[in-house]
Amino acid sequence: MAKQEDQFKKVISHCKEYGFVFQSSEIYDGLSAVYDYAQNGSELKKNIREYWWKSMVQLNDNIVGIDSAIFTHPKVWKASGHVDAFTDPLIDNKDSNKRYRADVLIEDYVAKIDTKIEKEIKKAVKRFGEDFDKAQFLETNPKVVAYKEKQSQILSRMGKSLENEDLDDVKAQIEELGIVCPISGSKNWTDVKQFNLMFDTKIGASAEDATKLYLRPETAQGIFINFLNVQKTGRMKIPFGIAQTGKAFRNEIVARQFIFRMREFEQMEMQYFVAPGEQKKWYDIWKEKRLAWHYSLGLGEDNYRFHDHDKLAHYADAAADIEYRFPFGFKELEGIHSRTDFDLKAHQEFSGKKIQYFDNEREETYTPYVVETSVGLDRLFLAIISGSLKEEDLGEGKTRTVLKLPFVLAPIKVAILPLVKKDGLPDIAKKILADLRLEYSVAYDEKDSVGRRYRRQDSLGTPFCVTIDHQTIEDNTVTIRNRDTMEQHRIKSDELADYLNKEVSMSTWLKRLK
């Protein structure tokens, strides 16, 4: 655990030191759970968004993108159920005066049982050596089976209590499990209460006729209320999808863990409209497609897993999370939800406007069902940066810090480094820079030794460094160095653009994804 915490601390300080993420309003001592993206972070974030957008919208004939407003008519949130039901169950510890999400306390308890299971696996690996069959062990070892049974009992009881609004039972469960406050160590808990997570504000010139509005807590509703507009103007045929990226706001009770849980964050969502009865098929397809997309980043397939929900939101008939192994354990990265026809029906009812689709093939009119994929851009940023940050042992007591970002996402794709600041080398370097920057974000650095400049670029995650030396003057070749292998070789400077295109360009990565 201590090692994991150390790794997480390193990620946070790396983000600050190398200009990725800053605490918002830092000069005023910061605003809790709000962050600003810095010069390198905003590039990385933009690249992640672009990779998602292109693979979703550009590569799919039947998915289009929109950009709806953050403000909407207040009835939208009444219809969606957020005014009445977008709540978290909270509980306070009377000794530390700290507030927690009751469901998270219980889920953390369940996650600790995972650690016990992993210990059993480690012991068994030692005992059985090469003969060890993990799948069989997990199914038959009595201790592991009992642990898993316990986990599922706890989660299913919690799911039922939350569904039935039986908050007394949620508290009883916390007490029965002996869960203590991580700060005070005590079990002195208040009752569990529901807390609405939406922020509100007012629109209008004078206090009398001002209308209360909500800042959207998810981008999805902007898609539902535009369903007919997009379907008609785009002549879209079911099944089809509408995608969007944008800010969402939630007054999170416990906003911890850096950019994992923020009060202002960005979502990347796609709502896929399907015929009634087809939702299960599409739900399974989108689960697999999204997992494959995450795998394509190359952060290691072991670091992802599905978590199927026992506790379903009011609008869903199936839901799963793609979880990622963050430095603080496996946690939700993306949600895949089968949202039924709940939202479109609700907007039809609250707006009084017919929201239906005539299916030519089936020759019938219906309210489409929806399968959604919803990923937090900031959470994805955290997953990518924490999965990429490595401390490498170079031998002879030397180490290097390297950010092994997927090449396509790196904020700077290539750094141009004249070996020395004289003999015309900077002029040649600047010419190369001028060419390459038309296509890619390029850095130019002439300060310090080349070795130190390499290290600086490694820390920023720059995939390639190009060094211009005296031989360049003679034969027009440069040295190109790969961030991950640290291998260097010479190529003609006019071949650089092609070389980079094969390695770092969006099209190369999108092709691989297909």
Shortest distance in whole angstroms from residue 213 CB to ligand ATP: 20
Shortest distance in whole angstroms from residue 79 CB to ligand ATP: 17
- Within 13 A of 85's CA, how many CA atoms are on the CB side? 12
- Region for residue 384 given its phi and psi (left: phi exceeds 0; alpha: psi -120 to 50; beta: otherwise): alpha
Q: Which residues bind ligand ATP (CB under 6 A)?
A: 218, 250, 252, 261-262, 265, 267, 332-335, 374-376, 378-379
Shortest distance in whole angstroms from residue 149 CB to ligand ATP: 24
Q: Which residue, 250 or 287, is less far from ligand ATP as judged by CB?
A: 250
In terms of C-beta density within 10 A (0-12 exposed, 13-18 middle, 19 or more buried), how is residue 29 classed?
exposed
Q: Which residue, 269 or 341, is less far from ligand ATP as judged by CB?
A: 269
Q: Which residue, 240 or 265, is less far from ligand ATP as judged by CB?
A: 265
Q: Which residue, 163 or 391, is less far from ligand ATP as judged by CB?
A: 163
Give CA–CA dist 238/264, Å, rounded: 33
Give CA–CA dist 514/512, Å, rounded: 5
Q: Closest-CB residue for ligand ATP?
A: 376
Cis previous bond, 239, omega within 30: yes
In terms of C-beta density within 10 A (0-12 exposed, 13-18 middle, 19 or more buried), how is residue 42 classed?
middle
String of DSSP letters for 161-190 = HHHTT-HHHHHHHHHHTT---TTT----B-
Shortest distance in whole angstroms from residue 502 CB to ligand ATP: 32
Shortest distance in whole angstroms from residue 126 CB to ligand ATP: 35
Shortest distance in whole angstroms from residue 249 CB to ligand ATP: 9
Q: Which residue, 111 or 450, is less far from ligand ATP as judged by CB?
A: 111
- Region for residue 316 given its phi and psi (left: phi exceeds 0; alpha: psi -120 to 50; beta: otherwise): beta
Q: Which residue, 320 or 436, is less far from ligand ATP as judged by CB?
A: 320
Shortest distance in whole angstroms from residue 103 CB to ligand ATP: 8
Shortest distance in whole angstroms from residue 77 CB to ligand ATP: 14
Give CA–CA dist 45/28, Å, rounded: 25
Spatial contact of 381 and 432, defined as CB atoms under 8 Å apart: no
Q: Which residue has the tokens 């092994």?
A: 404
Give CA–CA dist 504/440, Å, rounded: 9
Cα angle 95, 99, 105 (rounded to 5 degrees) comes to: 100
Q: Which residue has the tokens 């950009």?
A: 67
Which secondary structure element, helix H or strand E, spans residue 496, and what is its range?
Answer: helix 496-504
Shortest distance in whole angstroms from residue 140 CB to ligand ATP: 32
3-state secondary structure of 147: helix
Residue 4: partners with Cβ closer than 8 Å, 6 or more residues away? 327, 328, 329
**How far does Cα 445 stand from its chain's mean position?**
32
State the CB neighbour count (10 A cutoff) for residue 138.
15
Q: Which residue, 18 or 260, is less far from ligand ATP as judged by CB?
A: 260
Q: Which residue, 104 or 442, is less far from ligand ATP as judged by CB?
A: 104
Q: Which residue, 373 or 472, is less far from ligand ATP as judged by CB?
A: 373
Q: Which residue, 18 or 35, is less far from ligand ATP as judged by CB?
A: 35
Shortest distance in whole angstroms from residue 219 CB to ligand ATP: 9
Give CA–CA dist 244/375, Å, rounded: 11
Q: Which residue, 47 or 457, is less far from ligand ATP as judged by CB?
A: 47
Shortest distance in whole angstroms from residue 75 CB to ligand ATP: 21
